[in-house]
C-alpha cells in the first residue's frame, strides 16, 4: 500500500512538472523558421533497454559529450519549480553539473529497465528525475527535474533520504529504542560536554552510555526539529541548534557529534 501511495505521489509531482506545454517552446532560426521536436507516440522503434543502458553508462563515466547526444533540444530543465530551456549540446555540457545533479544521477543509475513507468508522456526515470520519449524516431531525454538539494553543501546526496533518516531517528529516540538508535550513529561519535570531548567508539559503548548521551534536553531538541528549518554548512547539518550534527559517510547518513 505504501509503495502504491509513493508512486501516486511521484506521478502527481511529475505531472505538475509537465503541466501546460510539455514540449519546450521552439527557438527561432535566423531565417525566421522554427525548430521544434516532432514527438510521436511511443512505438518502441528503438529499444528502451539499450537506450537506458547507454545513458547510464555515459553518466556513470561522466562522459558529458556522449550524454549531450542523448538529449532532445530544447531540453526542459525543471529546477525548484522553474523551467529553463537548454537549446544546444554545447550549452548542456557547459551546465552539466547543474543539470545532472547528484540526485538525478543517483535516480538514473538505480533505475532498472524492467521497472520503468510509462504513460502518454513517455518513460519516467526514478521519481520523475528524467522523462524519455520517442522524438523523430529516436529515444531521447526531453525533460530533467534537477530538484534542489538544500543539504548538498553538507555532503548529503539525496534530500529525501536525509528527511527519511531524520524522521527515523526521531521515531526511534522517541521510542527509546537504544539498539536501533545506535545503528544511526557514526563511530567514533564525538560527545562534547563542558568543553571536553569524549569519543564513543562502538555501538556497545553507545548503548551502555545511552542515557548520558541522549539526555532529556537532547531528545527534546531533536523531536522539535523541523527538517525544513535546519542550519546547513560544509561540516554537516545542525539538529536542535547544534545539539546534534549529521553528515553522510559513504552511503550512510549518520549523527557524528552531540553537544550536551
Write out pLDDT tens, residues 9-22.
455 445 444 543 34
Q: Express each pLDDT in 124-141 by its tens digit.
A: 999 889 999 999 989 999
Q: Is 126 left (phi over 0), alpha (psi -120 to 50) or beta?
A: left
pLDDT at 22: 43
Mean pLDDT in residue range 70-80: 92
pLDDT (average), residues 58-83: 93
Model pLDDT, residue 14: 52
Cell of residue 246, nine digits? 549529521
C-alpha cell at 111: 533505475
Q: What mean pLDDT value characterizes the chain?
A: 84
Report CA-CA distances (Å) from 50 to 72, 200, 215, 235. Answer: 17, 49, 54, 41
pLDDT of residue 13: 46
Average pLDDT over residues 230-245: 94
Interval 232-256 mean pLDDT: 94
Distance in angstroms (rounded) separating the CA atoms of residues 101 and 157: 9
pTM above 0.85, yes or no: no
Q: Which of 202, 180, 189, 200 is nearest to 247 (CA)?
A: 189
In sequence order, the 6+-apart residues with CB closer than 8 A to the CB of 195 are none
Tell me the C-alpha distance between 236 and 165, whole Å: 14
What is the mean predicted confidence (pLDDT) over 171-188? 97
User: What secondary structure letter does DSSP report for 62?
Assistant: T
Name the band, by pLDDT with cuts 50, 70 and 90, for residue 166.
Answer: very high
pLDDT at res. 155: 87
Q: What is the per-residue pLDDT for 9?
A: 44
What is the DSSP-derived secondary structure letter of residue 143?
E
pLDDT score for 18? 53
Distance (Å, rounded) from C-alpha 87 to C-alpha 162? 34
Q: Which stretch of DSSP H or E encloses residue 233? A: strand 231-233
Amino acid at each position: 500500500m505504501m509503495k502504491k501511495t509513493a508512486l501516486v505521489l511521484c506521478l502527481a509531482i511529475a505531472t505538475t512538472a509537465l503541466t501546460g506545454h510539455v514540449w519546450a517552446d521552439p527557438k527561432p532560426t535566423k531565417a525566421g523558421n522554427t525548430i521544434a521536436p516532432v514527438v510521436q507516440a511511443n512505438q518502441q522503434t528503438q529499444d528502451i533497454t539499450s537506450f537506458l543502458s547507454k545513458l547510464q553508462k555515459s553518466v556513470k563515466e561522466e562522459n558529458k559529450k556522449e550524454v549531450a547526444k542523448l538529449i532532445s533540444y530544447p531540453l526542459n530543465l525543471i529546477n525548484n519549480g522553474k523551467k529553463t530551456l537548454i537549446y544546444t549540446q554545447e550549452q548542456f555540457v557547459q551546465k552539466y553539473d547543474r543539470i545532472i545533479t547528484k540526485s538525478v544521477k543517483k535516480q538514473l543509475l538505480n533505475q532498472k529497465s524492467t521497472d520503468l513507468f510509462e504513460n502518454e508522456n513517455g518513460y519516467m526515470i526514478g521519481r520523475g528525475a528524467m522523462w524519455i520519449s520517442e522524438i523523430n524516431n529516436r529515444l531521447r531525454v526531453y525533460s530533467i527535474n534537477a530538484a534542489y538539494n538544500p543539504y548538498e553543501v553538507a555532503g548529503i546526496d539525496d534530500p529525501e533520504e536525509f528527511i527519511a533518516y531524520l524522521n527515523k531517528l526521531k521515531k526511534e529516540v522517541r521510542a527509546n529504542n537504544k539498539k536501533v538508535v545506535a545503528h544511526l550513529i557514526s563511530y567514533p561519535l564525538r560527545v562534547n560536554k563542558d568543553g571536553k570531548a569524549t569519543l564513543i567508539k562502538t555501538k556497545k559503548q553507545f548503548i551502555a552510555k545511552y542515557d548520558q548521551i541522549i539526555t532529556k534536553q537532547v531528545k527534546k531538541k531533536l523531536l522539535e526539529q523541523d527538517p525544513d528549518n535546519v542550519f546547513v554548512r560544509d561540516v554537516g547539518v545542525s539538529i536542535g541548534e547544534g545539539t546534534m550534527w549529521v553528515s553522510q559517510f559513504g552511503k550512510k547518513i549518520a549523527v557524528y557529534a552531540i553537544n550536551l
